[in-house]
Amino acid sequence: MKRNFATAFLLSSLLASAALSQETAATYKFDQGYPTAETSARAQDNADLQRALVAYRFWYPTVSVEGIFNGNRAVGINDNEAMGGAAAGPRQIGFTLNSDTPYGSATLDVSKGPIVVELLPGAYIGLVNDHNQGWVLDMGLPGPDAGKGGKHLIVGPDYRGKIPKGYLVGRTPTYKNLLAVRALPVGGDQDKALKALEAIKVYPLADPKQRLKFVDTTTMDLDSTSLKWEDNIQFWQKLNDIIQQEPVVEKFLPMYGLLQALGIEKDKDFKPDDRMKAILEKAAKNGRDQLLVSAFDSGRADKIAWPDRKWEWVGLVPGSAQFETPAGVDLEARDRWFAQAIVTSPAMFRRTAGAGSLYWLGARDATGAWLDGGKTYKLSIPQPVPGKLFWSVTAYDAQTRSEVQTDQGKAALRSLFELKDVKGSDAVDLYFGPTAPQGQEGRWIKTVPGRGWFAYIRIYGPDKPAFDGTWKPADFVEVK
């Protein structure tokens, strides 16, 4: 019998985390075969902590996407009322957001009926994820409309009405959903790309006149992360709010069972006592730390992109939607992704020539040391970079997993913008550090002493050399 995702996650996680909380038999005392009061109390605390750690990892994507919804609402982009769009930069705090293309996002609430997302023909890359960051459908170039435009219909779990013809349908198990669309800046025209986002029509199927307004957030300070919740009791409070608002997703029943044991249950108040609150606080801190280890210090061999380089693949399960493999769900790949990034789609994890984009992570220099914001590094990128569209290198703060924030006001070097004059076959040298090397100000990203950082290399429309090892970037080398 084939297990569903939540059951597989629960069983695998309990086995994987047992070593973290297991106590030896000598720790426990029994009286004629029965546990003593001290033994019962310790065992219960240990069991609840283990349940909480597994629940934290499973529900982390759910709380993370709530951070996006919350960030939009904080600047007036309310559910089903508006769509935000930005030529993003460091002032938009979000897990590994980049400045390569303008972003558009909206919270779609389908509790009162389906929502239409209408794209014109053009260079869009978009998707819808549900409240658990489960994939619903792709749009634009990677989707069924293939960039030719189309009407996409997002249908909720309670809808029993007729589906009209001519729509590309995505069915979601949750009421709240994230619409995320990028408009490619063809020829380096950011303004045109922003206008392409503004041209997207989003409206209820029942009333096309209620189109969501467009809000340009380029100059707004916006935090779309769960950073302030992720290592404390607020994580569980936010998760409880979501559980109360959303319908129960049947395939996640085992994970709801874990939450019930921790005091989170639909249609009931969440009132942890001091004992449970302390356990949940500890689980949030430890769970967050475990995710960061998976993200940046995993011992897996398959993360290495090139055997003689420190660069790593960001997505470890090519072509999957939810990190599924023939043997089951790849839990560490899931943890690794959601600790660094947001949203999932099969198109995002493809490793085939010409498809979508490729991401590589660099967090160490050529010696294997972590990248240090107080040091200066050189990165050589061989030319030409094997991509049909464009490429970039973006620097991220290790603590926020968002673009580095400095008075320079930027965190990326991009082939369509800062590096548009790069020609020929000679490698281009890029620099990262607190001070620009003389004469290299245009090919330099400022970093912050005392803060670690990492980088993503992205290639859009990658060609075969990006996969077969005939092209590869150098490692970061410290410049003394």
pLDDT of 82-132, one tens digit each?
A: 999 998 899 999 999 999 999 999 999 999 999 999 999 999 999 999 999
What pLDDT shows up at residue 17? 52
pLDDT digits (tens, 9 = 90+) for 128-149: 999 999 999 999 998 999 999 9
- For residue 26, what pLDDT band results from cuts at 50, 70 and 90? low
Q: What is d(CA 353, CA 360) in angstroms, rounded to the nearest whole number?
A: 15
Residue 119 token pair: 């794209």
| Residue 261, CB-side half-sphere exposure with 13 Å CA sphere | 18
What pLDDT shows up at residue 353? 75
Q: Taking residues 29-46, what's their average pLDDT?
A: 91
Domains of the chain and CATH, by start? 27-71+229-294 (1.10.3360.10), 77-223 (2.60.40.1610), 299-478 (2.60.120.600)
- For residue 23, what pLDDT band results from cuts at 50, 70 and 90? low
Q: What is d(CA 226, CA 56) in angstroms, rounded to the nearest whole number?
A: 13
Q: What is d(CA 455, CA 441) in angstroms, rounded to the nearest whole number?
A: 18
pLDDT digits (tens, 9 = 90+) for 200-243: 999 999 999 999 999 999 999 999 999 999 999 999 999 999 99
Q: How far is CA 170 from CA 118, 162, 163, 361, in A?
A: 13, 14, 11, 31
Name the more confident of 354 and 72: 72
Q: Is the dihedral of CA 68, 311, 59, 175 positive or negative?
A: positive
What pLDDT shows up at residue 347? 82
Angle between helices 331-340 and 5-21 (to 10 degrees): 90
Q: What is d(CA 373, CA 355) in angstroms, rounded to the nearest whole number?
A: 34
For residue 404, pLDDT beyond 60: yes
**pTM, two decimal places:** 0.93
Name the more confident of 16 and 152: 152
For residue 4, pLDDT beyond 70: no
What pLDDT shows up at residue 14? 52
